[in-house]
Structure 1
Amino acid sequence: MSIRTLSSREIYRNPWMKLREDQIERSNGTPGIYGVVEKDVSAIVIPIEGETIYLIEQFRYTIQQRCLELPQGGWETSDVDPEELARGELREETGLVASSMIHLGETWIAYGFTNQKQHVWLATGLTHAGTDPDPEEHDLELHTATVAEFEEMLVNGTIQDNCTLAAWAMYRLWKERQKESGK
């Protein structure tokens, strides 16, 4: 390892996250501090039917803006089944139920300061079943866009969520490989 942990202490905790501060020593002997946000696994879902993609708009407190993004979130528990989590987030936020869920992969949300992993899912065969939002999700708005409109929003900066962008890149690569393999 190029960095050795000398000590670690919890600074703050709430139901959604834990913040710890680690005293470290780099391989060259230089001391330092790392602040680490610990969060449980999350999921992001690409709900797509034909050329229609479903998006969520919500207020993001940290940047004081309403943001458009793919449905995503976590359940504040470390032992959740990733597909169950993805199906639950899809239902909570959009009111949609998917007959097919394909796991496209996993990403680290922002490993420069958090250890949160996010599972990326493709949801198809969608039916409306009614939303079930958490209290924190009181202001969610469901939007639809064509794939072309969605991609334009990624390019022109309407959508700036890195998780949405990463999930879409993963989907496009998966889709291209499906074409190449004849599936």
Structure 2
Amino acid sequence: MKKHGPWRIRSETEAYDNPWIQVTHHEVERPDGSGGIYGLVSYKNLAIGILPLFADGTVPLVGQFRFPLGRMTWELPEGGGPRGLPPIDSARRELREETGCTAAHWHEYGQADLSNSVSDERAHLFLAWDLTQGEAAPEPDEVFQYKRVTFADLLADIHAGRVDDALTQLLCLTAVTKALSGELPEEPRALILDQLGQVRAGDD
């Protein structure tokens, strides 16, 4: 029996596998000594999220139909990248594919576990600025809509509960926190703080 923190694993069986995920069924001994099961979804790619900032304070949002939800959502650019590839390379590709944008400057400002009750999905958070707009190049199975909104409006929508995507929320709120604490490069920090001031002015 293999020890796994306070758990013990009696057996592991592959239940499902495809190019993106693997599902493993575990027979376990729980921390209290009782028997049980645990299903683990292992992701073969790292999750990538990008907060791209245009000089006018706008950000690009991508609209797409999300199969698990059965509806369309509006999100910041996000996707996945092979674990053996530097996450920044995957971020550059995702931004270009989904929005057509390229960025002169990049900064990784956080990482997060997205669903740690059932999966090991790990996300890398990136800022991108000094953007050049080009043509998007989605993959054959991707159909995107595209719009630009001010970062202030996006923050207001998050606070009002109109943006459900967890990675978009995480990208924005982490960026605000780090901008306020002086942990971001000066140019994107100034853009974010200016937009945050507009949100606060709108609340007055």
TM-score normalised by L of structure 2: 0.83
Q: What's the counterpart of residue 90 of structure 1?
A: 95
What RMSD in Å do the two structures reach over aligned CA positions? 1.9
Unaligned 5+ segments in structure 1 are: none
- Alpha-carbon distance in 2 for matches of 1:44, 1:78: 15
Unaligned 5+ segments in structure 2 are: 190-204
Given that 1:6 and 1:22 are in contact with CA atoms closer than 8 Å, whether structure 2 keeps it comes out as yes
- Alpha-carbon distance in 1 for matches of 2:18, 2:30: 30
3-state secondary structure, aligned to 2:13: strand
2:61 to 55, 58, 67: 55
TM-score normalised by L of structure 1: 0.92
Which amino acid in structure 2 is aligned with residue 81 of structure 1? Answer: P
Given that 1:42 and 1:85 are in contact with CA atoms closer than 8 Å, whether structure 2 keeps it comes out as no
Q: What's the counterpart of residue 80 of structure 1?
A: 85
Q: How far apart are 1:126 and its partner, in Å?
A: 0.5
Given that 2:50 and 2:95 are in contact with CA atoms closer than 8 Å, whether structure 1 keeps it comes out as yes
Post-superposition CA distance 1:52-102 (Å, at most 9, x none):
011111001111110011111113x32011100111111111110010110
Q: What's the counterpart of residue 156 of structure 1?
A: 160
Q: Does 1:31 align with 2:35?
A: yes
3-state secondary structure, aligned to 2:60: strand
- Alpha-carbon distance in 2 for matches of 1:140, 1:78: 25
Task: State which structure, 1 or 2, has the greater radius of gyration over its C-alpha atoms.
Answer: 2
Q: How far apart are 1:156 and its partner, in Å?
A: 2.2
Q: What's the counterpart of residue 174 of structure 1?
A: 178
- Alpha-carbon distance in 2 for matches of 1:162, 1:21: 26
